[in-house]
Chains A and B, each alone.
Chain A
Amino acid sequence: MSFKRKQAYLKMVQKGIIDMMPLNLAVLPWGILCGSLAIQRGLSELEAILMPALVFAGSVQLVVIELMNNNAPLATILFTAFIISSRHFLYGLALRDKIKNLPMQWRGSLGFLLTDELFALSGDTKALKGKLRLIYAVAAGGSFYLCWLLWNIIGIVAGNYLPDLTSIGLDFAIAVTFIALVVPSITNLAMLITVVVAGVLSVIFKLMAWELGLVLASLIAMYCGYLTVNQQAKLNTVKRSVS
């Protein structure tokens, strides 16, 4: 490998880590909460570490730990995890054409690392195209994995001595990071309608304490955005045929 190419790769690793850093830090309170809750609810240290290391999904970890503690049947635990994870199917679908023909090592690692956060960084049409952008994505996703693991371990080790960071409002960090990523992507009416519908419906479904609400709110919002573009196209053809 030439020196120049190696430097370009290193640069992409660096850029991936830097771009993911706000998200890495934003999930610190959640990671600590997941780790400490696991210990408080009676999981061993090993089990508590395997949760972020293998399951690697904050909302699933939190909900499942509570279910296990309530002695819920295995089928209930797995079904709940499936419902909460179902939004990832959307991410896989959205990125399918870019990833499906890549060699196994890229597909596997991107598939494993495909969190809300990595998906948020992969929205650009050019994302994941070419080796440099793949290195960027794996570096970003990999840094998120390591940080998530580290925050969980801090929770496992020090959870009993730390206050619940989400109860003092640190869950605001993840909200504001997503705001910072979503707002600049609202460049037209269709995106605006998508975001408004998703926001309103997600709150309504959340108040109904409905685990499937997140996915349903997203799907309806996406359909509204899709319809908006179609209606605009129709209006334009009508205008053109009139004039």
Chain B
Amino acid sequence: MILLTILLLACITFTSRYLFLAPKLPLRIGAKITHFLSFSAPAVLTAIWVPIIFVKDNSFNGSLSNPYLLAATVAIITAYKSQSVYLTLSLSITVFALLHFIN
């Protein structure tokens, strides 16, 4: 039963990824929709990362003592100034670890 569930789940995740890549699907994407979709990456990725920073155990944490918030601020500034993934990661994770260590 669990195996069957896993197989069905695999079908669902694969279909959700593959469906719109299938050439047989009778769908033409116009210029307007293409333009709309050009915002998908920043929109979805932001909708994933912002709750990690602000929501802990189903409640909002916007206080300045929230280590996630401080380290994310460092990350945003570093990413904006340097545009480097590796520099952003190493700086902000160091800050995050230090804050964790202090607490």
Residues of A that sit less than 8 Å from B by CB:
22, 43-44, 47, 50-51, 54-57, 60, 64, 68, 74, 77-78, 81-82, 85-97, 99-101, 107-108, 110-112, 114, 116, 119-120, 122-123, 168-169, 171-186, 190-191, 194-195, 197-203, 206-207, 209, 213-214, 217-219, 221-223, 225-226, 229
Chain A residues with CB under 8 A of B53: 175
Taking CB atoms and an 8 Å cut-off, the chain B residues in 48-96 that contact chain A are 48-55, 58-60, 67-68, 71-72, 75-76, 79-80, 83-86, 88-89, 92-93, 96
**Contact across chains for B37 and A222 when beta carbons are under 8 A apart:** yes
Taking CB atoms and an 8 Å cut-off, the chain B residues in 16-73 that contact chain A are 16-23, 25, 27, 29, 33-55, 58-60, 67-68, 71-72
10 CB < 8 A contacts A-B: A54-B10, A90-B37, A100-B21, A174-B49, A177-B85, A179-B92, A191-B42, A194-B43, A217-B47, A229-B35
Looking at chain B, what size class is its interface with the partner chain?
Answer: 35 or more
User: In the complex, A110 Cα to B20 Cα: how many Å?
Assistant: 12
Closest to B88 in A: A180
User: In the complex, A98 Cα to B23 Cα: how many Å?
Assistant: 11
What's the minimum C-beta distance from A11 to chain B, rounded to whole angstroms? 19
Chain B residues with CB under 8 A of A213: 47
What's the minimum C-beta distance from B95 to chain A, rounded to whole angstroms? 10
What's the minimum C-beta distance from A63 to chain B, rounded to whole angstroms? 11
The answer to whether A198 and B5 touch (CB under 8 A), given A172-B68, A175-B68, A183-B76, is no
- Knowing that A82-B16, A108-B18, A191-B42 touch, tell me 13 more A-B residue pairs with CB under 8 angstroms: A22-B85, A47-B2, A55-B9, A93-B20, A99-B21, A119-B44, A175-B68, A197-B43, A202-B46, A203-B51, A203-B55, A203-B60, A207-B58
